[in-house]
A and B are shown apart, each in its own frame.
Chain A
């Protein structure tokens, strides 16, 4: 019991990095998801193709490869070391899951009944008004459960930032393990519980989102 307490105390030093990366990267991912999801529906072929390229590249390769790639490429591209690994972690996770979320956004917008679009056109709404007042309010409800699921995926993804030497929960756990090998089972179990406790609110929010998305939808 005392061991668990001392391990938890050590691990909680990494809590801030894990949570801050999760929050920042999920905000970036939601933003990218909406922008690229809507651009994917643009009437301009070039815009659609370019967004498609971003989406397929980030969905087609692994997060860990993207993380390492950006870790080496960003300093190279800008000619200077960007300094903060924290930003690189956020960019990698945000862009990766942004690509996945864009498909969710696109799918939900396309799933809104065609009659709604026709009605908006019949009421002489501009295409902005149509999106803002008719399509999105209905589409966003459909997106909520998937956004919740992907946020849980992002939490799992943040564990990778320990590999680019960020001091997150797993980083402190690995240090503990290297100094005390026989305690490894307990250490990793406590790490898993840490991540699970962080995921719990997201799991409940996702379930709530599922209820919301089902409510009042004619089938």
Chain B
């Protein structure tokens, strides 16, 4: 039977922390991937053709409602076996692409909600003022659509950070992987796993609080704008 040892607990810290930059690196890379790929979904959803819209919606739904673990396995184990396009991907690239695609469907929805939150009058006004398509988006729509989405994007960054340890199953040497290998060397995993939990808690809890604050701040800013608005 296993037991708790403080000696092992302190011994494990430096070993596990060696994997932290990988976990954080994958999170950041996958998040950037999702930010860009999310744009693709948003564009595809805006195509004014019923059938395309239907297909895109269900493809997104499919990616979103199936386990990221299976999607990772698909990319890591199955992709190399596909004829013509198949190449072997490293655990790092597999994780970035896997989580990137999975979360891009959520990010795409966030962009959409941001764009839809811009009032109809703004679109009409920019048309009435004869803005070009580019100027309309650059000067009118995006400056209003983007700020409200920042807290939501931040929340998804934290959610992704907590999903990344799943990639230890395809051999990504992040903190969970390091904890597992430390644990199996010392025949006890409990201290190492506790450390991983502490690291996640210490990093994600303050970030979540920070985003909450940002959200409140943005909300008050937008409320103020509405109050000062002379037309109201």
Q: Which of B68, B194, B197 contacts A156 (CB 8 A)?
A: B68
For residue B64, give the distance in angstroms from its CB to the closest CB of chain A.
8
For residue B180, give the distance in angstroms from its CB to the closest CB of chain A.
8
Q: Does A130 have its Cβ within 8 Å of any Cβ on chain B?
A: no
User: Number of contact residues on A: which range applies?
Assistant: 35 or more
For residue B7, give the distance in angstroms from its CB to the closest CB of chain A.
17
Complex: how many Å from CA A66 to CA B61?
27
Q: Which of B65, B74, B165, B200 contacts A199 (CB 8 A)?
A: B65
B70 touches A159 (CB 8 A): yes
Q: Which residues on the B side are within 8 Å of A177 (C-beta)?
A: 73, 77-78
Q: Which of B62, B79, B166, B196 contacts A160 (CB 8 A)?
A: B166
Q: A57-B201, A69-B197 are in contact. Are A156 and B65 (CB under 8 A)?
A: yes
Chain A 51-88 residues near chain B, CB threshold 8 A: 56-57, 59-66, 68-69, 72-73, 75-76, 79
Q: Which residues on the B side are within 8 Å of A66 (C-beta)?
A: 197
Q: Does B204 have its Cβ within 8 Å of any Cβ on chain A?
A: yes
Which chain B residue has the least Cβ–Cβ distance from A191?
B70
Q: How many residues of B contact A (CB 8 A)?
A: 38
Complex: how many Å from CA A68 to CA B204?
19
B193 touches A185 (CB 8 A): no
Q: Which residues on the B side are within 8 Å of A104 (C-beta)?
A: none
Q: Is the interface of A mostly helix, strand, loop or mixed?
A: helix
A160 touches B81 (CB 8 A): no
Q: Does B11 have its Cβ within 8 Å of any Cβ on chain A?
A: no
Q: Does A5 have its Cβ within 8 Å of any Cβ on chain B?
A: no
Q: Which residues on the B side are within 8 Å of A183 (C-beta)?
A: 81
Complex: how many Å from CA A170 to CA B67?
10
Which chain B residue has the least Cβ–Cβ distance from A67?
B193
Complex: how many Å from CA A161 to CA B30?
24
Q: Which of B3, B62, B169, B205 contacts A76 (CB 8 A)?
A: B3
For residue B197, give the distance in angstroms from its CB to the closest CB of chain A.
5
Chain B 82-114 residues near chain A, CB threshold 8 A: 82
Q: Which of B62, B68, B69, B205 contacts A56 (CB 8 A)?
A: B205
A199 touches B1 (CB 8 A): no
Q: Which residues on the B side are within 8 Å of A56 (C-beta)?
A: 201, 205
B70 touches A170 (CB 8 A): yes
Chain B 160-202 residues near chain A, CB threshold 8 A: 162-163, 165-166, 168-169, 176, 189-190, 193-194, 196-197, 200-201
B77 touches A65 (CB 8 A): no
Chain A 173-192 residues near chain B, CB threshold 8 A: 173-174, 177, 181-185, 187-189, 191-192
For residue A10, give the distance in angstroms from its CB to the closest CB of chain B.
15
Q: Which of A57, A62, A156 contacts B165 (CB 8 A)?
A: A62
B204 touches A60 (CB 8 A): yes
Complex: how many Å from CA A163 to CA B72?
14
Q: Which of B82, B169, B201 contacts A60 (CB 8 A)?
A: B201
**Sample of 14 further A-B pairs with CB below 8 A, known A62-B163, A183-B81:** A61-B196, A61-B197, A62-B165, A64-B165, A64-B176, A158-B67, A159-B69, A159-B70, A184-B81, A185-B79, A192-B70, A195-B66, A195-B70, A196-B66
Can you name 14 A-B pairs with beta carbons within 8 Å? A61-B162, A63-B162, A64-B176, A68-B189, A76-B3, A177-B73, A184-B77, A185-B79, A188-B77, A189-B74, A195-B67, A196-B65, A199-B66, A203-B61
Report A's interface with B, CB cutoff 8 A.
56-57, 59-66, 68-69, 72-73, 75-76, 79, 152, 155-160, 163, 170, 173-174, 177, 181-185, 187-189, 191-192, 195-196, 199, 202-203
Report B's interface with A, CB cutoff 8 A.
1-4, 61-62, 65-71, 73-74, 77-79, 81-82, 162-163, 165-166, 168-169, 176, 189-190, 193-194, 196-197, 200-201, 204-205, 208
